Structure 1
């Protein structure tokens, strides 16, 4: 019997996909709120990691947080809706998260390790089982 066009049965990995999508939506909301808060601040902030002073304008930080918040939330909602573009964007964002946490591993080893493991699990779930959400 031919099964062309049939959707695969849902597995337990769908829960990990929804988990990743919900984390993206929540992270997007937090980023958006952080962006609004940064825009409400005036002036600049000076970051001094290891003796180097860098001036950062709060307006630019606020706009970038707002954009990232919208992108994260949209991708999370798209993943929950079974959209292919959202899965691809979510995988790309999770890969960037892995790379960023590798860079910050010396400063935050436990937190970075937890985030890297969760990102890898969500990437696997999205790539290997993401089609299950289309049914």
Structure 2
């Protein structure tokens, strides 16, 4: 004899969760991903400003295949940081374009920081790891308005 669980058991709401609903981890992760995108955008803006100011925080690299002028790196970081910040706000507000652009721009940000590794290796590795989490969180959450 098999038994089925009682949906009205103590400690439950009485109704099973609808199929296909977002898990708590994914929904919370999506909000956290939006905040991480905004913070990452602000940090990229600071990286861009530091590179434009030719600050001593940025390592000088010689003989690197993807070596750009430090001013070029500064403008790349500054512009991409502003766009990532804006898209992070869009993801936080739940806009339909926010998730798709969030995944795409975070992918671009990961590639950018891979190329930026010789200049700031520790921060680049942290940003790449956070970017992977952001992409995961935005792809897993299937709440209304998701991709």
| TM-score band, normalised by shorter chain | 0.5 to 0.7
Q: Which runs of 5+ in 1 are unaligned?
A: 1-7
Moved over 3 A (4+): 8-11, 94-104, 121-125, 130-134
1:47 aligned counterpart, secondary structure: coil
Structure 1 residue corresponding to 2:69, chosen from 57, 72, 78: 57
Deviates more, 1:92-101 or 1:32-41: 92-101
Identify, as 1 or 2, the structure richer in strand: 1
Residue 23 (str. 1) matches residue 33 (str. 2): no
- 1:101–1:115: 8 Å Cα contact kept in structure 2? no
- 2:41–2:81: 8 Å Cα contact kept in structure 1? yes
Q: Which residue of 2 aligns with 1:73?
A: 85
Deviates more, 1:94-103 or 1:63-72: 94-103
**Deviation digits for residues 64-111 of structure 1, max 9, x if unmatched?**
11111111111111000001211101111344466678998xx99xx5
CA spacing shift, 1:102–1:72, aligned 2, 3 Å = closer
**Deviation digits for residues 41-70 of structure 1, max 9, x if unmatched?**
28xx752368x795x322211111111111
Q: Which residue of 2 aligns with 1:125?
A: 137
TM-score between the two structures when normalised by the length of structure 2: 0.58
Residue 48 (str. 1) matches residue 71 (str. 2): no
Q: Where does 1:110-121 land on structure 2 (aligned, <5 Å)?
A: 115=129, 119=132
Tell me how large the CA RMSD over aligned residues is. Answer: 3.8
Residue 91 (str. 1) matches residue 103 (str. 2): yes
2:84 aligned counterpart, secondary structure: helix
CA spacing shift, 1:10–1:39, aligned 2, 3 Å = same
Distance 1:85 1:53 in 2: 31
Q: Paired residues, what number?
A: 116
- 1:28–1:72: 8 Å Cα contact kept in structure 2? yes
Distance 2:39 2:23 in 1: 24
